Amino acid sequence: MCLSIDVVFTPDLLPFSNLAGKTVVVTDILRATTTITVAIANGAQHITPVLTPDDAFCLAASQSDTLIGGERHGVKVDGFQLGNSPREYTRDIVSGRQIVLTTTNGTRTLQACGTAKQVLVGSFLNLQAVVNLLAKDTEDVVFACAGREGGFCMEDTVFAGACVDALSTGGMTANLTDAAEAARLLYREHSNNLTGMLQNCYHGRYLASIGLAADVEFCAQLNLVDIVPRQIKGQVKLSN
């Protein structure tokens, strides 16, 4: 069987992609999917992505023992316990807790993938775990990049390209779309300096300008954890 691998560069393009019966890997490297990966690895029960801060407040009010996290323009929303920095989601804070999360790009991308057979969460921190899981799969794969405010971003596409490269050179017979091949080429251009790529991309520079350069470096770490969060009925939790 020859599987198809595609990359969708922004969530605004998802309505033009047929996700039915496919595995979708959502990526928002700076920072939502990195933060989600860290939170789940540190024992959070589950994370519910929502679109707006008002949605987050309302949902949290209906649940006990719930933390609210997220950002707008990179900054923690007033009244939230947590922002969108993966460094905040430590085990002592999130273990055993439910989290409601809203971010500018990542959570809306997760919500836009409801027609997929399964939705996985990917970051550099769990790249190898994602690749290992996909290599065992039998569904076509779509990498859904969160982008930045509806536009293309470098870091999400490079992550997708890293996965495409690993899958297509690891023995899997794959039919790559032009977008997947472009992502792979972009990854190969930056594979020797992922930290530098993140520091120099538009959003990396923006985060540094508001005092979050340490987040950018954190998000560049490769294979820090061996888990793949999965979105099931609107909640992101540990994949079996």
Q: CA quadruple 110, 100, 44, 86: dihedral positive or negative? A: positive
Tell me the mean pLDDT in the region 62-79: 96
* pLDDT beyond 60 at 85: yes
* pLDDT beyond 90 at 226: yes
CATH homologous superfamily of 3-234 equals ComB-like (3.90.1560.10)
Non-local (6+) Cβ contacts of 42 within 8 A are: 89, 90, 91, 94, 95
Q: Which two tokens stand for residue 52?
A: 């707006």
Q: Where are the domains of the chain?
A: 3-234
* pLDDT beyond 70 at 160: yes
Evaluate whether 228 touches 235 at the Cβ level (below 8 Å): no
* pLDDT beyond 90 at 1: no
The pLDDT tens digits of the residues spanning 50-64 come to: 999 999 999 999 998
| Average confidence score pLDDT of the chain | 96
> Residue 174: its pLDDT value, please?
87
Percentage above 90 pLDDT, the chain: 92
The pLDDT tens digits of the residues spanning 105-152 come to: 999 999 999 999 999 999 999 999 999 999 998 889 999 999 999 899
Pairing of strands 3-8, 141-145: parallel
Cα separation, 19 vs 43, in Å, equals: 30
> Residue 240: its pLDDT value, please?
62
Evaluate whether 101 touches 50 at the Cβ level (below 8 Å): yes
Tell me the mean pLDDT in the region 206-228: 98
Q: What's the pLDDT band for 169 if we cut at 50, 70, 90?
A: confident
* pLDDT beyond 90 at 97: yes
> Residue 75: its pLDDT value, please?
97
State the pTM of this model.
Answer: 0.97
Tell me the mean pLDDT in the region 20-42: 98
